[in-house]
């Protein structure tokens, strides 16, 4: 079946909070005044440990509490082999992040990719778990004009992996589920939701964490960069 529509997650796919996902923990450490290991591989190991914990735990009831974020910071600091007080540093990061303005960074590959897809006639939609402000964020970041539909979970009343938000996206873009691919960074939200809705899932696995799959999900395809998408589409 020919792919006619491309659905995107927003957070950590097209738009990143503070800094790109792979660089964000190091960025937060610097804002807090923490000294990072000199070896970039150790810093990357911390980011990978944090992301794995994030994805493993985000489906649980305690996700996104302060205690959960504290543990997330502990995991990352331990993963990079932080040589100071791990608990103290984890608390310092949590304290520093609280008053920070919630700035958004557009992935540098997003605009070229979206322009390419529009030029090839693909229908485009965002399917994202958000807080009702996604339209405003897209306007502020200059991405709003690229999409035929924007599905913000708080507006739609359905959060991934619930299939209803994908059903709305298909109706809004005029395609059948099997004619769409959904790209996102979360196995439990993006991959599981797309699979259940009959949409092709494609995980944006920037930290190369899920080559062995995730939980009990069937095997799924991955890309490392947004710029890998055109080749994937051509391969269909």
Tens-digit pLDDT profile for residues 154-177:
999 999 999 999 999 999 999 999
Whether 81 has a pLDDT exceeding 80, the answer reads yes
Task: Name the β-bridge partners of 104.
Answer: 17
Tell whether pTM > 0.85.
Answer: yes
pLDDT category of residue 190 using cuts at 50, 70 and 90 = very high
pLDDT value at residue 75: 96
| pLDDT value at residue 63 | 72
34's tokens: 């923490």
Closest by CA to 69, choosing from 104, 43, 98, 30, is 98
CA 17 – CA 103 distance, rounded (Å): 6
Q: What is the pLDDT of residue 98?
A: 84
112-130 in b/e burial notation, b at 16+ Cβ within 10 A?
A: ebbeebbeeebbbbbbbbb
Annotated domain spans of the chain:
5-16+104-235, 19-97
CATH of 5-16+104-235, one of 3.40.640.10, 3.30.230.10, 3.40.50.1000, 3.40.1030.10: 3.40.50.1000
- CB atoms under 10 Å from CB of 195, counted, come to 18
Percent of the chain whose predicted confidence (pLDDT) is above 70:
99
Choice among 94-103, 127-136, 151-160, 224-233 with the minimum mean pLDDT: 94-103
Give the Cα separation of 53 and 62 in Å (integer): 13
| DSSP-based three-state secondary structure for 163 | coil
Burial class (CB in 10 A: 0-12, 13-18, 19+), 1: exposed
Distance CA 127, CA 184 (A): 9
pLDDT tens-digit series, residues 200-222: 999 999 999 999 999 889 999 99
> Rounded to whole angstroms, what are the CA distances from 215 to 56, 144, 188?
9, 34, 9
Whether the per-residue pLDDT at 26 is higher than 80: the answer is: yes
Identify the band that residue 100 occupies on the pLDDT scale cut at 50, 70 and 90. Answer: confident
Res 86: pLDDT: 96
Write the CB contacts of 182 (distance below 8 Å, at least 6 apart in sequence): 6, 7, 8, 9, 127, 166, 190, 193, 194, 199, 200, 201, 202
- Would you place residue 66 in the very low, low, confident or very high pLDDT band (cuts 50, 70, 90)? confident
Look at residue 61 in the predicted model and tell me its pLDDT: 61
Closest CA to 50 of 74, 31, 30: 74
Task: Give the pLDDT band (50/70/90) at residue 198.
Answer: very high
Rg (CA), the chain: 18
**Contact (Cβ atoms closer than 8 angstroms) between residue 212 and residue 219:** no
Q: Does pLDDT of 127 surpass 80?
A: yes
Whole-number Å distance between alpha carbons of 89 and 157: 38
CB 122 within 8 A of CB 5: yes
If you search the block for the tokens 């540093």, which residue do you land on? 89
């Amino acid at each position: 079946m020919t792919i006619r529509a491309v659905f995107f997650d927003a957070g950590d796919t097209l738009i990143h909070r503070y800094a790109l996902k792979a660089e964000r923990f190091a960025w937060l450490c610097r804002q807090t005044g923490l000294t990072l290991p000199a070896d970039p591989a150790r810093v990357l190991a911390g980011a990978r440990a944090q992301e794995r914990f994030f994805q493993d735990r985000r489906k649980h009831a305690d996700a996104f509490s302060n205690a959960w974020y504290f543990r997330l910071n502990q995991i990352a600091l331990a993963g990079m082999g932080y040589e100071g007080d791990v608990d103290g540093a984890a608390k310092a990061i949590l304290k520093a992040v609280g008053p920070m303005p919630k700035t958004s960074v557009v992935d540098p590959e997003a605009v070229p990719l979206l322009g390419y897809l529009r030029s090839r006639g693909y229908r485009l939609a965002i399917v994202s778990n958000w807080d009702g402000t996604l339209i405003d964020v897209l306007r502020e970041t200059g991405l709003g004009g690229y999409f035929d539909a924007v599905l913000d979970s708080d507006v739609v009343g359905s959060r991934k992996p619930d299939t209803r938000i994908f059903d709305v996206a298909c109706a809004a873009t005029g395609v059948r589920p099997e004619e769409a691919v959904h790209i996102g960074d979360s196995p439990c939200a993006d991959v599981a939701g797309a699979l259940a809705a009959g949409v092709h899932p494609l995980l944006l696995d920037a930290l190369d964490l899920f080559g062995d799959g995730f939980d009990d999900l069937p095997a799924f395809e991955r890309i490392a960069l947004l710029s890998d998408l055109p080749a994937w589409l051509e391969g269909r």
